[in-house]
Structure 1
Amino acid sequence: MNAAPVPLTDNRPAAVPQGAAHTHREIRQQPRLWAEMVTRLSAERPALDAFLAPLLADPRLRIVLTGAGTSAYAGQIARSALAAATGRTVEALATTDIVADPTGCFEERTRPTLLVSFARSGGSPESAAATELADQLLDHCAHLVITCNDRGALAVRHGERTDSYVLLTPAEAEDQGFAMTSSLTCMLLAALHTLGADRVPGLDACAASAEALLAEDVTGRVAALTRVEHQRFVYLGSGALKALAGESALKLLELTGGAVTALADSSLGFRHGPKAFLSGRTGVVVYISNDPYTRRYDLDIFNELTAALPAGHVVAVAGKPEGLPEAATWLVPGMAEADDAALALPAVLYAQLLALDASLACGVTPDNPFPDGEVNRVVQGVTVHPFTTC
């Protein structure tokens, strides 16, 4: 990093860093918005059940979770938890993959499918194109659209369809800052609650966990890591937490305007070549699974990298402290028994805060890290080409 880091502050409005008003607020409002999301889902439960019950009753149902960028990570984080909760085949496919390779993504034309689309704005060209391709290639496709924008193209296109259900987050979740923070977690929470109901352990504890996390000296811990002036970061995890690692790396790249490079991988996969990314100025965050078996692999790579890198370069983010040194562990309060998909919800706040602090340290404006428009809040420059089958 090029400049001395600017330490983050608490929730007091007067302490908001310049150029970070939206991002600062949108990170810290998440526990409140999650509570609002749960209230909204409770009110919509009868309508949701009426829409979903006939679909979920079919044992052949395939559920596809889709989105682009951060929205794609929402599906990847939720996938295994929703497969266990529904007993159905659940896949996470990015809209960018669907649009580029529709026949590869929708090979079984006759298999009934529920396409769950995550979209902050609903205005990305791939969002609508993915739903249209699913309709074109599948005999039976229903749509659950989870979005933050009731005026977006995706919500408008599916709002009146009987084979679609548009589920809206609280309006404040449509982040006004560049990076997706509240939008990601509200949409992820909505999917886990809607399709997982009470079958995802720890889901009901997420808001209280995030509140407790933000009440601690989290910003001091984060600033201590960014002050090491790392040139690059590595995020590692397994299963749902591998997807969280991917989102964490993306957030750091976005908010620093690419000034800090970041890599994400699985705890086991990292040794197979990507470990070459390490240098003496690399910071590492390892997300530690709550699953007893998976956790062993996360602890192995954490211990290996702690021994290999200078002190203070490696931290663990975990729901429980067993097997971890206190000084290098960022605990997620109240999530010791949570499913990893639920654990990811409050845990991602650490990644968001780290990206924000690193952005300020680099002299970048977090709310708009690309003032010249080379990267945009809603993707631009995409041409969706007509698709025809032989």
Structure 2
Amino acid sequence: MNSTEFLGLSEDALAARGALATAREIAQQPRMLQRTHALVAGLHARITAFVEPIARDPRARVILTGAGTSAYIGQCLAALLDRQLAARVDAVATTDLVSSPHLYLDPEQPLLLVSFGRSGNSPESLAAVQLAEARVREVRHLVVTCNADGALNRTGARQALTVLLPEETHDESFAMTSSFTCMMYATLQALSPAGMLDARIGPLAAATETAIARQLSPLQALAGLGCDRVVYLGSGLLQGLAREATLKLGELTNGAVATCFDSPLGFRHGPKTFVTPKTLVLVFVSNDPLTRQYDLDLLDELRRDGVAARVVEITAQPRDGHDALVVEGLAQAPDVDLLFPYAAIAQIFAFQASLATGITPDNPNKAGTVNRVVQGVRIHALAS
């Protein structure tokens, strides 16, 4: 009998429910983050030499780009990297770059285009590279991908460097999990000073592993509530993760659960009407002392309202007597480190919700109207 387990279920049980790849890829993240750190550390001098002519130029721009989950990597990191680099840093999805290139690509502004791709085969990812090549006089491409055979590796761009992550991060399942966290970590490390994360990767990976192990039962119980609406909220860097968490839940339940994301402060300005008695609210709580106060104010307000089915804080600094999913060992960590265990918690909840609704997580969209690598995109020629 096969004794290997992922997320508390045997391989055989997971395979029978169409869930093996998703469970394995969620569970492997602590190990893959460690391997990604070692890989990027070995490449760091080469990466720095490649990106510095643009990254250290205050007249230049860095665009973090991808589609879907890959786009949300940029949304999680852009504000932080903008503080670290001399160049302006923005997150712009490939889906926006391709449809409105004139809004984002300045022919005279030096550009570092950082492209994320699990498969590296999304039509918009390739088109974004080609548009930057055609429209921008000085452009460099940093490709962060999980697939050595992906088309992003063979664009023919004038100046390009690929960071190829461990093969296991090329997720086989429908939804991106380890590819998301490892591409995000690789980019943070690659565009930060050498050695900056050396002392942080151990606690970060350990916290992610502990969160996966200890939150399985609480997350299964939350999925078992049968809520038909789920809200994810996060401030600062964590708002990008809130958006990714809603996508993960929507993907793995094939749209059976309605989702909404926002910042805690923004949620009061209309989106709060989304909350009903069958709504679960999950808040990624910041460690920043100021930001955290705003997060907690909103949490307390929602509980006083008494409308939502449950209001749960996902936090590294738990409060006595409050409904919480706790990440251990990162109480003093910067918010960017929280992204990784928080992401794993959101992924497990989506996985459990998928199983609870009778859907197969590895292939939730049986009709094929949504695909692992997007199909049906027609790239139109750019008018001269």
The answer for the alignment partner of 1:142 in structure 2 is 140
Instruction: Name the CA distance, whole Å, in 2 between partners of 1:375 and 1:166.
Output: 28
More moved, 130-139 vs 28-37: 130-139
Asked whether 1:117 is paired with 2:112, we answer: no
Equivalent residue number for residue 368 of structure 1: 363
CA distance in 1, matches of 2:77, 2:332: 17
Change (3 A) 1:130 1:311: closer
Matched, 1:172 2:168: yes
| Conserved? CA contact 1:202–1:335, under 8 Å | no
2:305 is the counterpart of 1:275: no
Provide the residue aligned with 2:213 in structure 1: 215
**Distance apart, 1:59 and its partner CA:** 2.6
Tell me the CA shift for residue 253 of structure 1. Answer: 0.4
Structure 1 unmatched ranges of 5 or more: 1-7
> Which residue of the partner structure matches residue 44 of structure 2?
45
- Corresponding position: 1:59 with 2:58: yes
Moved more, 222-231 or 18-27: 222-231
2:303 — aligned with what?
A: 306
Q: Secondary structure at the match of 1:114?
A: strand
Q: What one-letter code is carried by the residue in structure 2 that aligns with 1:135?
A: E
Partner of 1:185: 181
Amino acid in structure 2 at the alignment position of 1:215: A
Following superposition, the deviation at residue 19 of structure 1 comes to: 1.0
SS of 2:250's equivalent in the other structure is helix
2:18 corresponds to which letter in structure 1?
Answer: G
Q: Whole-Å Cα distance in 1 between the matches of residues 322 and 58 of structure 2?
A: 48
Amino acid at match of 2:314: V
- Report the Cα offset of residue 219 of structure 1: 1.0
Q: Verify the 8 A CA contact 1:286 1:315 in the aligned structure 2.
A: yes
Question: How well do the aligned residues superpose, as a CA RMSD in angstroms?
Answer: 1.9
Deviations 1:116-167 (A, max 9, x none): 0011111111001111111222111100000111111111225xx5611011
The letter for the 2-side match of 1:354 is F
Q: Distance in 1 between matches of 2:192 and 2:202?
A: 12
CA contact (8 A) 2:278 2:308 kept: no
Deviates more, 1:310-319 or 1:358-367: 310-319
For the 8 Å contact 2:7–2:212, the answer to whether it is kept is no
Report if aligned partners of 1:175, 1:183 keep a CA contact under 8 Å in 2. yes
In structure 2, the residue matched to 1:5 is: none
Does the Cα contact within 8 Å between 2:144 and 2:162 map onto a contact in 1? yes
Q: In 2, are the aligned partners of 1:41 and 1:190 still within 8 Å (CA)?
A: yes
Q: Distance in 1 between matches of 2:97 and 2:313?
A: 34
Question: What TM-score does the superposition give when structure 2 sets the normalisation length?
Answer: 0.93
Q: Contact 2:286–2:315 at 8 Å: present in 1 too?
A: yes
Name the structure, 1 or 2, with higher relative contact order (CA <8 Å, separation 6+): 1
In 1, the alpha carbon distance for the partners of 2:29 and 2:261 equals: 24
Question: What pairs with 1:127-138 in structure 2 (closer than 5 Å)?
Answer: 127-138=125-136
Q: CA deviation at 1:202?
A: 4.6
Q: Relative to 1, partners in 2 of residues 1:326 and 1:195: Cα closer, same or farther, differing over 3 Å? A: farther
- State how many pairs are aligned: 376
2:375 to 358, 374, 380: 380
Instruction: Give the Cα separation in 1 of the matches to 2:196 and 2:38.
Output: 18
Deviates more, 1:143-152 or 1:287-296: 287-296
Rounded to whole Å, the distance in 2 between the matches of 1:347 and 1:56 is: 29
Q: Sequence identity of aligned pairs in percent?
A: 44
CA contact (8 A) 1:150 1:156 kept: no
The structure-2 alpha-carbon separation of the partners of 1:252 and 1:311, relative to structure 1 and needing over 3 Å to count, comes to closer
Aligned to 1:266: 263
Partners of 1:225 and 1:215 in 2: how far apart?
16
| CA offset digits 1:247-296 (Å, max 9, x no partner) | 00000000001011111111111111111111100000011111111111
Task: Within 5 Å, give how 1:264-343 maps onto structure 2.
Answer: 264-309=261-306, 313-321=310-318, 324-343=319-338
**Paired residue for 1:29?**
28
- Residues of 2 paired with 1:244 and 1:254: CA distance? 15
